[in-house]
Amino acid sequence: MSVVEACGCAPVTRRKLLAAGAAGVFAGLVGDQLATQLAFAADGSYAGDVLVVLSLRGGFDGLSAVVPAGDAGYYAARPGIAVPTSRLLGRSGIFGLHPALAPLLPFWQAGTFGAVQAVGQPAPNRSHFSAMEELERAAPGTTLRTGWLDRMIGGLGADRPFDAVSLGSALPARLLAGPAPNLGLTAVDDFELSGEDPHRPMAATMTALYAGAPDALAQTTAMTTGALATTGRLRAAGYRPAAGAAYPDTELGAALRDVARLVKAEVGLMSATVDSGDWDMHENLGTAAPGKKMYDHLAELARALAAFATDLGPAGLGRVTLVTISEFGRRVGQNGSGGLDHGYGNAMLVLGGGVRGGKVHGRWPGLAAAQLVDGDLAVTTDYRAVIGEILRARCGVSDPTGVFPGVKPSTLGLVSAR
């Protein structure tokens, strides 16, 4: 019987146990697998930003969030759902923010929240499954099967899953696929070994069972018990968000709350991924008013991000860069159901102490018919180049081509160097 079977978790083969470090195996040892993945440095020596990757799953409509109000093509293409110019916030050049992003306006004005427009993958792909797979693998035209975040943390020397914790409902398996250890859970306070109670000391039993075992086997047990000890200390200490930060009572709010908690606890966190779903709005996207689908989704996102930034405070936010990704954008023109079908070009949102915010970065291609790609916003900046700029300037990755093969970091000036 395997250790996982003994603890009542999902069964795992001896071969997988010998691999000691795969995310799914480690998550299986400790119970529920999560949407949030947290990756940690081995010895606390990591001095770069904590990179928080927020996946907006379903195909985020960047044209609704970061509105190209100065391009007449936007209003012509969306007669029923375009955001009126009078409702836009933080006008910067031709762009303005959707009014539901109001909680983030102070950070926009302070220069710690910004955006990049007309970003995306190298080629259009309107399939949720394959587009997300390529987004997270981020190595088209190569034989690489690892995820780009695994390549990042592996290159920075991560060799333990804790220093860490996780939160959410959908495991981003491809993003962290590979040999670097990572950990997935539901919440910091819910992290426990399945079956553990005073009468069944599962952790102690595991430790005794693998005492003297080869390193490949003993390491997994040590990772598990070490993670349990860390979360036990955090749980005992409790947590109160700082500066009156009010996280929304949502899965995203809870996940970001725990990420902030880990950043401030200085557990050695290098990167965290969090999911926010339900952005696939083919119908009834709605006008820019409360109670409408896009408005309410953006408002929830903005409240969670604003609480996260407030909770961290200037010092904590100065050690964090959060970036959003999504598998694709939406069509420029609305459909007959008042929604938007799968498209191409998109926007990325960026939040952090090193962000040069208060503006929209990137080269705008325009929305005239001749400027579109099969009816979609064209991509003028590869999303990998955007992240590459962040990795080099903020995370200490001297050569991001090791993370994104063949892609040079952008020179947008999106972030300042540490």
Give pLDDT tens digits for 223-279.
778 778 888 898 999 999 999 999 999 999 999 999 999 999 888 889 998 999 999
When mean pLDDT is compared across 37-46, 54-63, 323-332, 358-367, the lowest value belongs to 37-46
pTM of the model as a whole: 0.89
What pLDDT, on the 0 to 100 scale, is given for residue 10?
A: 33
Does the pLDDT at position 12 exceed 90?
no
Question: Do 325 and 55 contact (CB within 8 A), yes or no?
Answer: yes
Question: C-alpha 59: how far from its chain's center?
Answer: 14
Q: How many CA atoms lie within 13 A of 203 on its CB side?
A: 17
pLDDT band at residue 210 using 50, 70 and 90 as cut-offs: confident
At residue 21, φ and ψ (nearest 5 deg) are 150, -15
What pLDDT, on the 0 to 100 scale, is given for residue 205?
A: 80
What pLDDT, on the 0 to 100 scale, is given for residue 191?
A: 77
The residue whose two tokens read 């050569």 is 399
- Domain extents for the chain? 3-402
- Report the 10 Å Cβ neighbour count for 347: 27
Instruction: Pick 49 or 37 by higher pLDDT.
Output: 49
Question: Mean of the pLDDT values across residues 331-339?
Answer: 98
Question: Do 48 and 396 contact (CB within 8 A), yes or no?
Answer: yes
Does the pLDDT at position 211 exceed 50?
yes
Query: At a CB cut-off of 8 Å and minimum separation 6, what does 370 contact?
Result: none
- 153: exposed, middle or buried (C-beta count within 10 Å: 0-12, 13-18, 19+)? buried
Question: Mean of the pLDDT values across residues 149-164?
Answer: 76
What pLDDT, on the 0 to 100 scale, is given for residue 42?
A: 40
Q: How many CA atoms lie within 13 A of 315 on its CB side?
A: 5
Question: Mean of the pLDDT values across residues 288-300?
Answer: 98
What pLDDT, on the 0 to 100 scale, is given for residue 147?
A: 92
Q: Which amino acid is at 167?
A: L
pLDDT digits (tens, 9 = 90+) for 107-143: 999 999 999 999 999 999 999 999 999 999 999 999 9
- 230: exposed, middle or buried (C-beta count within 10 Å: 0-12, 13-18, 19+)? buried
Beta bridge partners of 349: 115
- Average pLDDT value for the chain: 86
Helix, strand, coil: what percent of the chain each, to 5?
35, 15, 50
Question: Do 152 and 391 contact (CB within 8 A), yes or no?
Answer: yes
Does the pLDDT at position 311 exceed 90?
yes
Distance CA 170, CA 14 (A): 25
Question: Mean of the pLDDT values across residues 207-235?
Answer: 82
In 3D, which of 334, 298, 387 has the Cα closest to residue 116? 387
Q: Where are the beta strands (DSSP E) in 155-293?
A: 183-184, 269-276
